[in-house]
C-alpha cells in the first residue's frame, strides 16, 4: 500500500470550531476518519502549530513515506523552510487548502509550497484531502 503522510499546519487543530463559514463544520478527527474510510493507502496523520516541527516531520518522511499531502495553513504563504524540506523529500507532494485561497485576501494568493507540489487543491473543502489521496493512488 502507498504510504502517505497527511500533514496539517497551524490552527487546523481548530477545524470545526474555527471560522466554520470558511473552513466548514468537520473537525480534523472527522477528516482523518473519512480519509481512513477510503482504505486506499497507509496513512499517517499529523498536525502542528510549529514550523520547525513540520520541517522535522517532513525530513522524517524521507525514505519512509511515498507521498505527503500537506495543508501548511498560514505557513503556505510565509515558509521557505517548509518549501526547502519538501524539496529534500524525494516522494510526491500534493498541497491542499480547504478554502479557495485565490478568492480571499491578496496575501493568501501566493503559496511557497506550490512551487514543489505536483498538484494544488483549493476550495473543495475537506474533500480536498480525500481527492489528494485518491489522486496519489491511481
98 is in an annotated binding site: yes
User: At 49, is the secondary structure helix, strand, or coil?
Assistant: coil
- The residues, ordered by sequence, that sit 6+ positions from 62 with a Cβ below 8 Å of its Cβ are 88, 89, 90
Considering only 11, 34, 49, 53, the residue that binds ligand DHK (CB under 6 A) is 11
Four-point Cα dihedral 83, 108, 52, 58, nearest 10: -40
Give the contact letters, 85-124, x = binds to ligand DHK (CB under 6 A), - = no. Answer: ------------xxx-x------x----------------
**Alpha carbon distance 49, 12 (integer Å):** 8
Catalytic: 23? yes
List contacts with ligand DHK (CB under 6 A). 11, 71, 73-74, 76, 97-99, 101, 108
Residue positions in the annotated binding site for substrate? 71, 77, 84, 98-99, 108
Which residues belong to the active site? Answer: 23, 97
Amino acid at each position: 500500500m502507498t504510504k502517505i503522510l497527511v500533514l496539517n499546519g497551524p490552527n487546523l487543530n481548530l477545524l470545526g470550531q474555527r471560522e466554520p463559514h470558511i473552513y466548514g463544520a468537520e473537525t480534523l478527527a472527522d477528516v482523518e476518519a473519512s480519509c481512513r474510510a477510503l482504505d486506499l493507502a497507509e496513512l499517517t496523520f499529523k498536525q502542528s502549530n510549529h514550523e520547525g516541527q513540520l520541517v522535522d516531520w517532513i525530513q522524517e518522511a524521507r525514505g519512509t513515506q511515498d507521498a505527503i499531502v500537506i495543508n501548511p495553513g498560514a505557513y503556505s504563504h510565509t515558509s521557505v523552510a517548509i518549501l526547502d524540506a519538501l524539496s529534500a523529500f524525494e516522494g510526491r507532494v500534493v498541497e491542499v487548502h480547504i478554502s479557495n485561497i485565490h478568492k480571499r485576501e491578496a496575501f493568501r494568493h501566493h503559496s511557497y509550497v506550490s512551487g514543489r507540489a505536483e498538484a494544488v487543491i483549493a476550495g473543495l473543502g475537506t474533500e480536498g484531502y480525500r481527492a489528494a489521496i485518491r489522486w496519489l493512488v491511481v
